[in-house]
Structure 1
Amino acid sequence: MPRFAANLTMLFTELPFMQRFEAAAKAGFKAVEYLFPYAFDKKELTAALRANGLQQVLHNLPAGNWEGGERGIACHPDRIGEFREGVGMAIDYASALGCPKLNCLLGKLPQGVSADEARKTAVENLRFAARELQGAGIMLLVEPVNYFDIPGFFLTRTDQALAILDEVGSTNLLLQYDIYHAQRMEGELAATLTKNMARIGHIQLADNPGRGEPGTGEINYPWLFKHIDAAGYTGWIGCEYKPRGETVEGLGWRTALPR
């Protein structure tokens, strides 16, 4: 049976962020993830986790000006110094929160930068981040994102991500496999998961179309969860979807799963 982590950036958004920890725990979640912790005090976040018996399983490296539309800077040749400073900040937060994995969003291809130059920059930055995180006992992840939701995103497919992992050549870098993004870009979910399970460090979910909760779209999630179990995945699956209504009302998909 999969273990599900509540993505607090997407779920319980009817509540202020710091109240979402308690809501997640009351809904039966044992773990949480979210995009970024950096706007909050580490002690406040740690206290919320402990008070609600929750484990922090993932957050992202700093990703540039998110509110301004940036979606990562790891492939930006002119932002290497900023990226490396962000790695240090991320390690500081993850260490305080007991978070074992950090995800790197490579970002959109910068205007005027060739794909080859962006790839070279991303590889160098990932090598640096993987080495720094390994020293702190934290696993680095990299995530393909579909270009329908984020036009211009540099990393969009599983095979592209795995080729970058090969080039980086670090045992401390794995794939973050988002089922929703993968369905939009390539399909073949079961085959891809089975083939690459040893290189997948984290899984996230949402249904398609609409990025809603499981059961609202075309993906046969009850079957896929069984397949993921059979393929040997024992990690958390982050629930990074947009509830159709209030979050608790849309959790029937989870309670209906066979135990």
Structure 2
Amino acid sequence: MKFSANLGFLWTELSLPDAIRAARDAGFDAVEFHWPYDTPAEDVLAALKDTGLPALGVNTVKGEGNGLSALPGREAEARVAIDQAIDYARAIGSGAVHVMAGFAEGQAAHDAFVANLRYACDRAPDLITLIEPLNHHDAPGYFLTTSAQARQVIEDVHRGTCKLMFDCYHLQIMGGDLTRQLSACKDVIGHIQFASVPDRGRPDAGELSYDHVFAVIETMGWDVPLGAEYKPGGDTGATLGWMDRYA
């Protein structure tokens, strides 16, 4: 298996360029970001070139919640955030942008999200536009919560570059039956992330067996680095024993 370090959670005590170098030194195959916008793109790009690590993705900004793109009436703000993420992703050579939906519900929210995702896909056909269901414990009121809902959104967007960010942690909490969800969603998955359940810690703890989950992902022929998006609860380096186990 190959792994990507999500630097929104890992090595957060370091500057982003130094966190990229730490990920390289720890043996990660790629990196990904939450909101890297306070760090000049040229500094991130220099660290990526120095380490040889690819950048897999960035998120749109949260606004006052968890995104803007499913909020009716705020399309202009949502598209400014989408433009910012696309421009930053291109500047650092990242292959994907995660468009965050925000706290909303109902048909109007669905329609706004679909319209904004079409905008993102059309604005950046060279990138993957990702959407990610979040669980209702960590993000109560978030618009997108299940893989079935995500599939419907993707079908309504009707763009080949709109894909599902399959976060094992969130989807195990929301629906369980995780490996069947993986198989059912294989055709629309653009990225896979993981963490333990229920505490979102290192993957070799908790109630979910990643020995089994990663084996199923391998049988799918998935060869893109999986995103380690977990909370280390202290020194990141001290939590990385799982990499030897699963690599």
The interval holding the TM-score normalised by the smaller chain is over 0.9
Q: Which amino acid aligns with 1:86?
A: A
Of 145-154 and 86-95, deviating more is 86-95
Query: What's the CA shift string for 1:5-53, capped at 9, x where partnerless?
Result: 0011101124343321111111011210010121111111111111222
Is the contact between residue 213 and residue 241 of structure 1 (CA under 8 Å) also seen in structure 2? yes
1:198 Cα deviation after fit = 1.5
| Equivalent of 1:79 in 74, 78, 81 | 74
Q: Which residue of 2 aligns with 1:96?
A: 91
Is the contact between residue 102 and residue 138 of structure 1 (CA under 8 Å) also seen in structure 2? yes
Q: Would you identify which runs of 4 or more consecutive aligned residues in structure 1 move more than 4 Å?
A: none
What secondary structure sits across from 2:3 in the alignment? strand
Distance in 2, matches of 1:215 and 1:91, equals 34
Q: Which residue of 1 aligns with 2:120?
A: 129
| Equivalent of 2:162 in 173, 197, 202 | 173
Distance in 2, matches of 1:14 and 1:128, equals 35
Q: Which residue of 2 aligns with 1:55?
A: 54
Distance in 1, matches of 2:224 and 2:29, equals 13
Query: What's the CA shift string for 1:214-247, capped at 9, x where partnerless?
Result: 1110111012111101012222211000114311
Q: Which amino acid aligns with 1:220?
A: S
1:199 Cα deviation after fit = 0.8
1:63 Cα deviation after fit = 2.9
Unaligned runs of 5+ in 1: none
Does residue 36 (structure 1) correspond to residue 35 (structure 2)? The answer is yes
1:172 Cα deviation after fit = 1.2
Distance in 2, matches of 1:144 and 1:79, equals 21
Query: What's the CA shift string for 1:177-206, capped at 9, x where partnerless?
Result: 000000110011111111211210000000
Is the contact between residue 143 and residue 161 of structure 1 (CA under 8 Å) also seen in structure 2? yes
Q: Which amino acid aligns with 2:108?
A: E
Is the contact between residue 200 and residue 231 of structure 2 (CA under 8 Å) also seen in structure 1? yes
What secondary structure sits across from 1:243 in the alignment? coil
| RMSD over equivalenced CA pairs, Å | 1.3
| Equivalent of 1:115 in 101, 106, 118 | 106
Q: Which amino acid aligns with 2:16?
A: F
What secondary structure sits across from 1:55 in the alignment? coil
Q: Which residue of 1 aligns with 2:145?
A: 156
* Aligned pairs for 1:137-216 within 5 A: 137-216=126-205
1:82 Cα deviation after fit = 1.2
Q: Which residue of 2 aligns with 1:106?
A: 101
Unaligned runs of 5+ in 2: none
Does residue 240 (structure 1) correspond to residue 239 (structure 2)? The answer is no
Is the contact between residue 14 and residue 246 of structure 1 (CA under 8 Å) also seen in structure 2? no
Query: What's the CA shift string for 1:59-111, capped at 9, x where partnerless?
Result: 1123323xxxx1000011121011112222222111111101111111111xx
1:125 Cα deviation after fit = 0.8
Q: Which residue of 2 aligns with 1:11?
A: 10
Is the contact between residue 201 and residue 235 of structure 1 (CA under 8 Å) also seen in structure 2? no
The number of residues matched between the two structures is 247
Query: What's the CA shift string for 1:121-162, capped at 9, x where partnerless?
Result: 11111111111111xx11111110001001110100000110
User: What percentage of residue pairs aligned between the two structures are identical?
Assistant: 37
Q: Which amino acid aligns with 1:233?
A: W
What secondary structure sits across from 1:174 in the alignment? strand
Is the contact between residue 16 and residue 39 of structure 2 (CA under 8 Å) also seen in structure 1? no
Distance in 1, matches of 2:29 and 2:243, equals 13
